[in-house]
Amino acid sequence: MNQLPRSRVFVSLGSNLGDRLSALTAAREALAALPATAVVAASRIYETAPQDHDAQPEFLNQVLCLETGLQPHDLLVECRRIENEHGRERGLRFGPRTLDVDILLFQDVESEQPELTLPHPRMLRRAFVLVPLAEIWDSARGMPDLHIAALAQTAVQDQAIRPYDVPEA
């Protein structure tokens, strides 16, 4: 049986409403359950101050490396479905949310479509993306030549981010 080619993809997860940790866990499980998709690596979970709109709760963030046979647009549709299933409401841009699932990078793909810009247009300015991404960057394949660790070091100079202590079950 022929297998479809699989691509490496980096995805960020974020939540600052409700049970934030459960939302990230559910998103990881839902992404892993997608057809022809597996989680290759997962960063630690980080707690971060909100950006753009300060008057909201702190976020939990994580970055995953996936390997998938899905095409970029199909993965985007699935990411939005997962967000919606977890109560995501699209109101205030950069406002509070139960779950945010963003495609950051997709192997060998660049896109300037309004619905899906790749690489993600704001990822290189966000410590909550760069720090966890740097943690699992050795899983990268077919990605732009980016110095993620150096970018992360620069971003943390003016953006609060700290590892989140996951409570033991």
User: Tens digits of per-residue pLDDT, 151-165?
Assistant: 999 999 989 899 998
CA dihedral sign of residues 125, 71, 88, 27: negative
User: From CA 28, how far away is CA 117, in angstroms rounded?
Assistant: 22
Mean pLDDT of the chain: 90
pTM confidence score:
0.92
List of domains in the chain: 7-163 (3.30.70.560)
Q: What is residue 1's predicted lDDT score, i.e. its pLDDT?
A: 44
Catalytic site positions: 88, 97, 100, 102
Q: What is residue 27's predicted lDDT score, i.e. its pLDDT?
A: 97
Residue 45 predicted with pLDDT over 50: yes
Give the SS3 label for residue 78: helix
Which of 49, 45, 115, 114 lies closest to 80 in space, CA to CA? Answer: 115
Looking at residues 114-124, what average pLDDT do you find?
A: 89
Q: What is residue 94's predicted lDDT score, i.e. its pLDDT?
A: 57
Q: What is residue 115's predicted lDDT score, i.e. its pLDDT?
A: 87
Q: At 169, is the pLDDT very low, low, confident or very high (cuts 50, 70, 90)?
A: low
Q: What is residue 3's predicted lDDT score, i.e. its pLDDT?
A: 58
Which of 99, 127, 112 lies closest to 72 in space, CA to CA? Answer: 112
pLDDT digits (tens, 9 = 90+) for 62-107: 999 999 999 999 999 999 999 988 876 666 565 688 899 999 999 9
